[in-house]
Structure 1
Amino acid sequence: MNSDFATIDALKTELDAILPMGDADERRLWEKLRLEWNFHSNHIEGNTLTYGETVLLLLHGQTHGNHSLREYEEMKAHDVGIKHLRNLAADKSRLITPSDIRDLNKIILKEPFWKPTQTPDGHPSRAEVIPGEYKTLPNSVLTASGELFEYASPLEVPSRMQALVDDLEKSLGDRKHHILTIAAKLHHDFVLIHPFDDGNGRVARMLVNYLFLRENYPPIIVPTEQKRDYLTSLRLADAGELESLEAFLGKQLEKSLKLAVGAAKGESIEEPSDVEKQVTLFIREQNSKDKVNEPDDDVLQPFIDSSVRPFVKKLDTKMRTLAPLFSRISLMATNGNGELMLDINPASTPTLNVVRPQAKHSFSYSYLYYQSSAANAFTHRTKVEIEYKKEGYALNHDGKILISKPYSEPMLAEEIDGITSRILAKTFEAIRSKAGQVG
């Protein structure tokens, strides 16, 4: 037997032997799990409320910190979603349905909103997200290798969602697989469908916890600190290695089971990390008064690898199309280790490192000596910068911001193509204008 399975089974047996839990112990266990679940699942998706602010909001109805109203509202809506999910799991007379899953999405998103998108030809646009409604447009994600990973098409969604719950019913009926295997497959199958325009990650984690709660296990928490490991396990599952996702979920279930056993025995379930969260909150509040926070390396480097590298490669290719108009092109690139002068050629894309201390990448293109019969052949310079802040990144061209997002929303391939096309168009327009003046 898989050692992870054996550990989980032993802990579940231990927990079952000391149940039922006292009312007070059950309340303190659930309060802790509920708060952790709300905080981490939303934080993974870009919500910036701290753990302390989450506690203040959900337990006391008070707000603290400089956050958007939407961030407070989505945290409260997610809490309502957890309560609804708990009721669904308690009903052993039936299994969750696609309609129930749509209701979960409707609850956590709460109300329609507009989301930035792009047209097929790369122009900025927006689309309305309707909570609880399946997607009407294709969705995809840019992988770390720069490849575009397409989820199920809108036409496939209804049938694949029905197949998802049918497969869950079969797995629970024949009991041929361990609950971790069933949970990993359920999570991964849902992610492959990505049925909604927004909220898919939170609903995926809710589905896993629906399974655990229905089978009398405590819910798991996917810690925001382990987001990279979590996403890596999902990518490995894409490649057919479901065991990695099983192992990741197993570690979280082991932690929750140990917590439940401790609570059932009347032991303290206050972890050092809970106290540390409060200390971190206080320090952050004090430091933020005088200091601008920089993004963490474990957030910044994956973003650079998955978004910035493909962007720079695409930008370089497009900017080079103007080369025949000039005697020479040069690139001044600031990559965190000073400035590097490069001549444009296919191998000249600059090395991209985690940026310290400037907190940005800068790419200055110089088009030298317009090849014209005019005596005063001109030179044209243009600059593209990507600035990295604590809350997210911003990309600007000659000082005009083209995109600003949290790190949880990387640049997709279509977005990269659209932005670089706009930069090329603006640059070409400026050059053509200068050429008209000197011609």
Structure 2
Amino acid sequence: MFQELDKLFTKLKSLRPLSADSVKRLAEDFMIDFVYNSNAIEGNTLTLEETSLVLKEGLTIDKKPLSHHLEAVGHKEAYYYVEETVKEKQALSEQIIKNIHSLVLMGISSERGKYRSVPVIITGSNYTPSQPYEIPFKMEQLIDEYHTRMNEMHVVERIAAFHLKFESIHPFIDGNGRTGRLLMNLDLLSAGYPPINVKFQDTRRYYDSFKFYHENEGDPSKLVELVQEYVLEELKRYIAILEMAEKLNG
């Protein structure tokens, strides 16, 4: 199922790495694109260009809500925290998830890093998230499963399974989607893969994968398919960049 992906991953590892400056530049470009798309999925109105101006220049965009600026900045800090967590080889924990959420919700201090204490309904959804009293146990159970049963899965399957279960628990009052997509990249980066970017243009397909999961007895195949496409796309992109760099450097 993942033959092409595994072959490309092996090829990526065999290529000479880029210089530190090139890696930093690529990472920053990806981060801006990731922040834009992830926030746009949740209704943030900053365009890609505006997101770049906010994050790189510290500018305030006229007639755009302050909260949307804070979401961009918080998401950037959360992404850098994910990178640092990977560098330090920290094992995924509830505390890491709460730390990511705290940065994502930079502008809402009272809810940062705290499991919700009230029930929620997802408008237009076909499932009801976990009740507040269930969340601590279910999150503990999910982390344990991630380090045991899920650890034996292919990284693409693991990412999809974890993401679907995390979003189904919906542990926070807000910021679950953004936190969950950051956790996807934490797993990918930890496994040596490039990060992926769930595109705003794929919002319907992304949400349909949750609908399919809940209507088909927890079948994660639709999200597995989407994640695999994104990983393949990024592997091919990175390989092309590395091969071009090798040609230029002789």
What is aligned with 1:102?
Answer: 98
What is aligned with 1:54?
Answer: 51
SS in 1 for 2:173: coil
Q: Aligned partners of 2:97 and 2:212: how far apart in 1?
A: 25
Instruction: Please state if 1:260 is matched with 2:243.
Output: no
Kept in 2: contact 1:26–1:263 (CA 8 A)? no
SS in 1 for 2:194: coil
Inter-CA distance 171–218: structure 2 relative to 1 (3 Å threshold): farther
Would you tell me which structure has more helix in proportion to its own residues? 2
TM-score by length of 1: 0.53
- Out of 174, 183, 200, which is 2:176 matched to? 200
Q: Aligned partners of 1:75 and 1:232: how far apart in 2?
A: 25
Q: CA deviation at 1:140?
A: 1.9
Instruction: Please state if 1:136 is matched with 2:117.
Output: yes
Matches within 5 A, 1:275-286: none
Q: Aligned partners of 2:99 and 2:201: how far apart in 1?
A: 29
Query: How many positions carry a matched residue from both structures?
Result: 243
Q: CA deviation at 1:16?
A: 0.3
Query: Which AA in structure 1 matches 2:64?
Result: H
- Out of 206, 216, 221, which is 1:230 matched to? 206
Q: Which has the higher relative contact order, 1 or 2, with Cα contacts under 8 A spaced 6 or more apart?
A: 2
SS in 1 for 2:63: coil
What is aligned with 1:185?
Answer: 161
Q: Aligned partners of 2:237 and 2:86: how far apart in 1?
A: 20
Q: Aligned partners of 2:69 and 2:209: how far apart in 1?
A: 30
TM-score by length of 2: 0.91
Gaps of 5+ in 1: 114-128, 268-439
Gaps of 5+ in 2: 246-250
Would you tell me which structure has more strand in proportion to its own residues? 1
Matches within 5 A, 1:5-154: 5-92=2-89, 94-112=90-108, 130-143=111-124, 149-154=127-132
Query: Which AA in structure 2 matches 1:133?
Result: K
Deviates more, 1:33-42 or 1:13-22: 13-22
Q: Aligned partners of 1:136 and 1:172: how far apart in 2?
A: 28
Query: Which AA in structure 2 matches 1:143?
Result: G
- Larger-Rg structure: 1
* Identical amino acids, percent of aligned pairs: 28
Inter-CA distance 259–32: structure 2 relative to 1 (3 Å threshold): farther
What is aligned with 1:158?
Answer: 136
SS in 2 for 1:141: coil
Kept in 2: contact 1:29–1:260 (CA 8 A)? no
Q: CA deviation at 1:172?
A: 6.1
Matches within 5 A, 1:308-387: none
- Out of 219, 228, 232, which is 1:241 matched to? 219
Q: How large is the RMSD of aligned CA atoms in angstroms?
A: 1.6
Q: Aligned partners of 1:111 and 1:51: how far apart in 2?
A: 20
Q: Which runs of 4+ in 1 moved over 6 A?
A: none
SS in 2 for 1:48: coil
Q: CA deviation at 1:85?
A: 1.0
